[in-house]
Structure 1
Amino acid sequence: MSGLQSVAKVAGGAVGQSTATRPGRSRIGRVPLFAYVSVAPTLLIVLTVVGAPLAYSLYLSLHRTNPITKTFIYVGMGNYAWVLGNAEFWAAFGRTAYFAALSVIGTTVLGMAMAMLLNERFIGRGVLRSVVLVPWAMAPVSVGVLWSFIYAGNYGALTGLLNDLGLGSWTMPWLGDGFRALNLVALTNVWSQAPLTALMLLAGLQSMPSSLHRAAMLDGAGPLARFFAITLPWLRPNLLFIAIIATINSLMSFDILWIMTRGGPGAATTVISWLGYVYSFQFLRFGEGAAILYCLTALSFILAIVYFAFFGARRSRPVVVSADAPLSDGGLLARRGPQMVDLPPPAPRFRLPRAMEAALGHGGFALAAIVLFLWSALPVLALVLMSLTPASDLIRTPATMIPSGFTLENFKTVLMPQISAGFSTSVQAKRVPLSLINSFVIGACVALISIVLGTFAGYAFARYGKKRFFNVSIWLLLLTRMTPGLTLVLPFFIIYRGLGLIDTRTGLIIAYCSFLLPLSAWMMRSYFEGVPASLDRAALIDGCSRMTMMRKVLLPVVRPGIIAAGIFCFLASWNEFLFALILTSTPSAQTIPVVISGFLSQAQFYEYGPMFAASVLSILPPVLVAFFFQRYLIQGALSGAVKG
């Protein structure tokens, strides 16, 4: 038996084992009441908090409103007819498609390269993994502030770097040209989102048996042949999931556009999400704005249907090398589903001496690791440098990255505004300490609620997911994740205003839980699927109640999953901007992303230093999470992206 033929038994055995251990193959009698009680709070919160705003936004989309007289005129599908006949909408649709295509291709290709590199063993791998995760863990608002200043024309960091390198003739108003601005915003989105793709692909690579590649190497397959014959097929479920998630994230992009371009210059970066925001919150044409956003929602639901089609029926790895079929012409015979694919044998190639080949390989790998470190870390280090730079240095021309000195005055201004000897009159600077507290309190409460309710819901979905009620429920929860936040935020504002929840921490906690509970439940469902149902039976036979079984038997087993879900929920809450922007108006409830965005409206040069100091403070929790909990983040990506 050749090396590649032996791969089949390893892969086939792994697939068979995965299928055999799936929950639902065995049942502990009928569905107990405990299972329904476990999912009830999650379903009630999500479907109520999200369902009512969705219904209200649909109501708005069927009416035209007069914000002065507060009258509603029923127009049926008139708003949708207006949207589909509006040239402005179709121009925004084209920009959205272009922006999404660049983002998806860029994040997928770059994320794959990152994952392949980080999957290898080398000194400092843990540190590099943590550094790579920092751009993704940063709030999109902080990312937008950082790259806005990097691209600033006369005094930006990129212009200063080119001047310092003697390449001043290359400088230009980076965001001054519309098409260039759209591409640069897409590149910024790739820088921010590629680590998430790398995280999911790295989780897939680490779940792949190493014997697959060892057997292929024994059969003479080179790196490229192994990549296309083994690695890519193994990662196919991950790549499909990543493509859909990346597309949805691109369609919903708002935070970075708000900070960097606000749809400009002109309408060059006006995508559908921004157009819907402008009509809803600037023109106060709520009906037309809701119709635009529902069109965006329709696109998201179409992608959700694609997700169901690709992932609902595929429960195992799609690529297995055949162990029975003979190899033709020394090639690799692989089976993709029911089809047999004859891969050509490795092409003969010129071989360098082993010592030289090894040296070149190690040198190329080291160079790739350095480039990846610089790509991920340099912009963040530039942000830290700017936070320590005197405000006058940040706007000097010609621009330079070399500061005249370093100062802690910017941090003193935002952390101790009352006693700062500097610009203590800054309105936004005074809001930073309380906004950090608000973000932490809200994030901690949301994470706690999400993991408690999500853990019980995840258990019920894992053990009884084949039952119609639970199967329909989990997909309904996921559908709410496909709904753009812009579609919900206007109804949230109107409903909250009537309930007195505007400008309160409680209001933000409720809103955040509504869209993070599905994520927590989905992740915990995947973790519980890896726990044998025999543990449940053994605990029940020993006389444990189901609550005791959960507390003493199952929760210790899935503790890594609980930590991972808590981290994801905390980061998502800490970084959220749109709901906090619309639902808060005073420092009593504003979070740090909202306060940072407020610096940009000050339009005074001395605000830049404190703004960068506040941005550094805002990324500290995500950076600490990336460095100390990256193992749990990888486990979370594995449970949320590969399984299900």
Structure 2
Amino acid sequence: MTITINPAIVSARVAKRHKNGRTPVFAYLSIAPIIAIMISIVGLPLLYSLFLSLNTTNPITKRWVFVGLGNYTKVFQSADFWAALGRTVYFSAVSVSGAIILGTVIALVLNEKFAGRGVLRSVVLVPWAMAPVSIGVLWSFVYAGNFGLLNGLLHDLGLGFFATAWLGDGFRALNLIALTQIWNQAPLTSLMLLSGLQSMPANLHRAAILDGAGPIRRFFSITLPWLKPSLFFITIVATINSLMTFDILWIMTRGGPGAATTVLSWLGYLQSFQFLRFGEGAATLYVLTALSLLLAIIYFVILSPNRRHRTVDQSTFSQTEETLRPVVRRHDMVRLPAWKPRQRIHPANARRYGRMLFGMTASIIFLWSALPVIALILISLSPAGDLIRTPPSLIPSRLTFDNYVSVLMADSGSTSVQAKRVPVSLLNSLSIGIVVSLVNVALGTLAGYGFSRYGQQRFFSGTLWALLITRMIPALTLVLPFFILFRSLGLIDTHVGLIIAYSSILLPLSSWMMKTTFDNVPISLDRAAIVDGCTRFSMLRKVLIPVVRPGIIAALIFCFLVSWNEFLFAMILTSTPKTQTIPVVIAGFLNQARFYEYGPLFAASVLAILPPVAIAFFFQRYLVQGALSGAVKG
């Protein structure tokens, strides 16, 4: 299609539109589907959950009794609640700070040019792309007391006297789960910071180097101020992810030993689905939702890069003052005393030591990211007897594909019921993931266009913020009303029910990603197409969608990963193999607790991580673009 532009006509039409001040009907129609759907699948369930929190129910008589704020009073008077709140705050503080520090180091390394950078970037993304259920299975076996991988390594090194039941001590178990959360979330932090680093002008550091600034000084005076907007967003995302942690806890400790790892999300689950105290469970989860929103507001007030009257360290290098002004934001600059480096190490030796330190850091990052995954693959190829031998060892007696045969071949003679469910569950995850991704990205593309082009208007900006706030709502807050409502509507144990539930978390994600993608397309392209005779819909379909195709692919990848890895909705809303997804089947292995299940369990876990790992390796470019769009996999 050839587009001709007549500047006079374009100017006249633009001036007329601004004079009239009318918003095209198409703009409202573009966001109408997503508004209607989110009200139906998020707004109404939230109101129903609020209604639950104001009532008590008898699971036998099914009678409802209105108690007003009685459930909240009972929650706040409970010692279990305050203990769980303390653990939640501690767990979130450790996991968020660890993920940000480690993610920053990884991003700084990946921002440098070196041989194998592409491979390392793909390897780093693997822990983030893996399903939390698979991560829980892997690390619970690493920390297992009698025959875990960590104790096996200690015995192989002759340090068996250090072996212990790593998850047997409550405080240590909470910290080990936080470490597992860091392993899972640090790649997301590094991905988003890397996108910020790659957008930073190179002349900032070149000018600072000419003034004699070392790498540490440049990091705190240039790099860190530049990354503050990204760090602000990352801190909110990491905090919400930590507050909502459920899958890893369910697999690794289930709140134990005792109640040592019972955080608010797990406490709400216990009250709702174990003790059937729906009112108290809903009240606890609403408190968790309020905590998420409160922390987001506090971060915004304290960390927001747009706050007035903040003092940001200016570079001490007089020649770069004007260059650094965009980074430190005009009047927020303050002067520091002139600084000159003292020569302590010969420059040639400093460069040599720097290269050595960089190589060691890159190697440690590779081992940190890859070794646990390699260990999972290795134990999936080990005979069942090797997995329970004492003393444990990392070295298998032989390698075998028997575990894969038992989960992939229906006539393999496997005695494991769960193993026979793996092929169907893989197909369920694949089909649901494809449908959910296509539907949500199609709707998100429409909405993203409306939010991008008309986001300055109050209605559109308010609607967008309302969508984003839904990402701060713990999934447990929604799954409880979903379970009750779907049961009455006959949607329990159906693919349609899962698609609806998954869309509650994917529609805001896809809309935000596509909104950011459209922001990078000049609006003059829209105007030229309309002048050429296109309707707004044909303009979007024929002109803009081909331009934003990379963003659409990135959104499809993120939506598929979230759908493939989702565990909570699938666990609560499915009950038979015909609809169960692969994370639910993997979790089912743990309920049987028979030694011959371990081999098929690890084989199924490896099969479950193959699609995410393949995506991390072959589509890393689109994942980086998704990070630029502010995408979040919760």
Q: Fold-level match, TM-score > 0.5?
A: yes
- Take 1:130 and 1:499, find their aligned partners in 2: how far apart are those partners? 43
Equivalent residue runs for 1:531-610 within 5 Å: 531-610=521-600
Letter in 2 for 1:537: R
**Displacement of 1:227:** 0.4
1:14 equivalent in structure 2: none
- Take 1:328 and 1:458, find their aligned partners in 2: how far apart are those partners? 39
- Take 1:348 and 1:465, find their aligned partners in 2: how far apart are those partners? 48
* Pick aligned residue for 2:501 from 507, 511, 515: 511
- Take 1:315 and 1:440, find their aligned partners in 2: how far apart are those partners? 45
Q: Does the 8 Å CA contact 2:512/2:631 hold for their aligned counterparts? A: no
* Pick aligned residue for 1:413 from 398, 402, 406: 406
Equivalent residue runs for 1:34-433 within 5 Å: 34-306=26-298, 314=306, 335-336=328-329, 338-416=331-409, 418-421=410-413, 424-433=414-423
SS at match of 2:335: strand
**Residues 588 and 335 of structure 1, relative CA distance in 2, 3 Å threshold:** closer
Letter in 2 for 1:365: F
* Pick aligned residue for 2:428 from 426, 432, 438: 438
SS at match of 2:30: helix
SS at match of 1:524: helix
**Displacement of 1:197:** 0.4
Q: Does the 8 Å CA contact 2:315/2:336 hold for their aligned counterparts? A: no
**Residues 609 and 328 of structure 1, relative CA distance in 2, 3 Å threshold:** closer
Q: Give the TM-score normalised by the residue count of structure 2.
A: 0.93
1:457 equivalent in structure 2: 447
**Displacement of 1:303:** 3.0
- Take 2:589 and 2:557, find their aligned partners in 1: how far apart are those partners? 28
Q: Does the 8 Å CA contact 2:211/2:319 hold for their aligned counterparts? A: no
Q: Give the TM-score normalised by the residue count of structure 1.
A: 0.91
1:622 aligns with 2:615: no
* Pick aligned residue for 1:523 from 513, 517, 524: 513
Number of residue pairs the alignment of both structures matches: 612
**Residues 309 and 449 of structure 1, relative CA distance in 2, 3 Å threshold:** farther
**Displacement of 1:361:** 1.5
SS at match of 2:166: coil
SS at match of 2:348: helix
Q: Which ranges in structure 1 are unaligned for 5 or more consecutive residues?
A: 1-25
Aligned-CA RMSD value = 2.4
Letter in 2 for 1:504: T
- Take 2:462 and 2:616, find their aligned partners in 1: how far apart are those partners? 35
**Residues 154 and 320 of structure 1, relative CA distance in 2, 3 Å threshold:** closer
**Displacement of 1:358:** 2.1
- Take 2:153 and 2:314, find their aligned partners in 1: how far apart are those partners? 55
SS at match of 1:231: helix
Q: Provide Cα deviations, 1:345-396, integer angstroms capped at 9, x if missing partner.
A: 4453334333322221111111111100000000000000000000110000
Q: Does the 8 Å CA contact 1:447/1:570 hold for their aligned counterparts? A: yes
Letter in 1 for 2:366: F
- Take 1:340 and 1:192, find their aligned partners in 2: how far apart are those partners? 37
Q: Does the 8 Å CA contact 1:46/1:515 hold for their aligned counterparts? A: no
**Displacement of 1:324:** 14
**Displacement of 1:148:** 0.3
- Take 1:47 and 1:197, find their aligned partners in 2: how far apart are those partners? 31
Q: Does the 8 Å CA contact 1:319/1:336 hold for their aligned counterparts? A: no
Q: Does the 8 Å CA contact 2:313/2:333 hold for their aligned counterparts? A: no
1:492 equivalent in structure 2: 482
Letter in 1 for 2:364: V
Letter in 2 for 1:572: V
1:3 equivalent in structure 2: none
1:22 equivalent in structure 2: none
> Which shifted more, 107-116 or 292-301?
292-301
- Take 1:208 and 1:566, find their aligned partners in 2: how far apart are those partners? 27
**Displacement of 1:342:** 2.1
- Take 1:93 and 1:288, find their aligned partners in 2: how far apart are those partners? 15
Q: Does the 8 Å CA contact 1:225/1:346 hold for their aligned counterparts? A: no
**Residues 346 and 386 of structure 1, relative CA distance in 2, 3 Å threshold:** farther
**Displacement of 1:437:** 0.4
- Take 1:320 and 1:102, find their aligned partners in 2: how far apart are those partners? 26
SS at match of 2:333: strand
- Take 2:425 and 2:485, find their aligned partners in 1: how far apart are those partners? 24
SS at match of 1:600: helix
Letter in 2 for 1:527: T
- Take 1:46 and 1:614, find their aligned partners in 2: how far apart are those partners? 34
Q: Does the 8 Å CA contact 1:119/1:202 hold for their aligned counterparts? A: yes
**Taking every aligned residue pair, what percent have the same amino acid on both sides?**
67
**Displacement of 1:312:** 8.5
Letter in 2 for 1:164: D
**Residues 543 and 323 of structure 1, relative CA distance in 2, 3 Å threshold:** farther
**Displacement of 1:458:** 0.4
- Take 2:484 and 2:521, find their aligned partners in 1: how far apart are those partners? 44
Letter in 2 for 1:46: M
Q: Provide Cα deviations, 1:96-118, integer angstroms capped at 9, x if missing partner.
A: 00000000110000000000000
- Take 1:305 and 1:106, find their aligned partners in 2: how far apart are those partners? 22
Letter in 2 for 1:209: P
SS at match of 1:64: strand
Q: Does the 8 Å CA contact 1:61/1:290 hold for their aligned counterparts? A: yes
SS at match of 1:350: coil
Letter in 2 for 1:588: K
Q: Which ranges in structure 2 are unaligned for 5 or more consecutive residues?
A: 1-16
- Take 2:549 and 2:302, find their aligned partners in 1: how far apart are those partners? 30
**Residues 104 and 323 of structure 1, relative CA distance in 2, 3 Å threshold:** closer
Q: Does the 8 Å CA contact 1:234/1:319 hold for their aligned counterparts? A: no
**Displacement of 1:514:** 1.9
**Displacement of 1:315:** 11
Q: Does the 8 Å CA contact 2:221/2:315 hold for their aligned counterparts? A: no
- Take 1:344 and 1:167, find their aligned partners in 2: how far apart are those partners? 53
**Residues 35 and 310 of structure 1, relative CA distance in 2, 3 Å threshold:** farther
> Which shifted more, 149-158 or 471-480?
471-480
* Pick aligned residue for 1:634 from 611, 624, 627: 624
